[in-house]
Amino acid sequence: MSTQSNLAGAYLAQGTIGNVGMPGAPIVHFSFVVVPSQHKVSGAVQITQATENGNYSGQVTGTLYATGLGNVTQIVAVKGTIHSEGVMPIEIPFEAHLAIDGSWNGTGGFSYANTHVESVPVTSK
């Protein structure tokens, strides 16, 4: 019996979620391994913010589905745990959702701790 996974078509997606260039705005930098044949996404996120103790990073997993809705060709939802990069490293839940095109550009949102951001740009690298 074979236990190999079907990773055909897997690729790396990298980019940002948030209002890049807006002073003080939290920005999520993501790097995901995407396996469309399994509808799976996994990887790392790093949140940067121009405030003291405003940076976080962690691992996430989630799902990706094709939509057929005009320019929004894919919906992605990820969740995981991030930790503070400050003096007191605490772990907190993180979730993000993206409505994107095939190039990983579109609109999304994310939440962690008491921060909830909606309807911000998703931009691929």
Average pLDDT over residues 58-86: 93
In this prediction, residue 88 carries a pLDDT of 72
Average pLDDT over residues 46-57: 83
In this prediction, residue 5 carries a pLDDT of 57
pTM exceeds 0.85, yes or no: yes
User: Domain containing 115: what range?
Assistant: 11-124
Task: Check pLDDT > 50 for residue 23.
Answer: yes
Contact 82, 45 (CB under 8 A): yes
Average pLDDT over residues 56-80: 95
The closest alpha carbon to 123, from 108, 110, 106, belongs to: 106
Residue 1 lies in a domain: no
Task: Check pLDDT > 60 for residue 57.
Answer: yes
* E-state strands within the chain: 11-17, 27-35, 40-48, 56-69, 72-84, 91-100, 106-112, 115-124
Residue 16 lies in a domain: yes
Domain count, the chain: 1
Residue 74 lies in a domain: yes
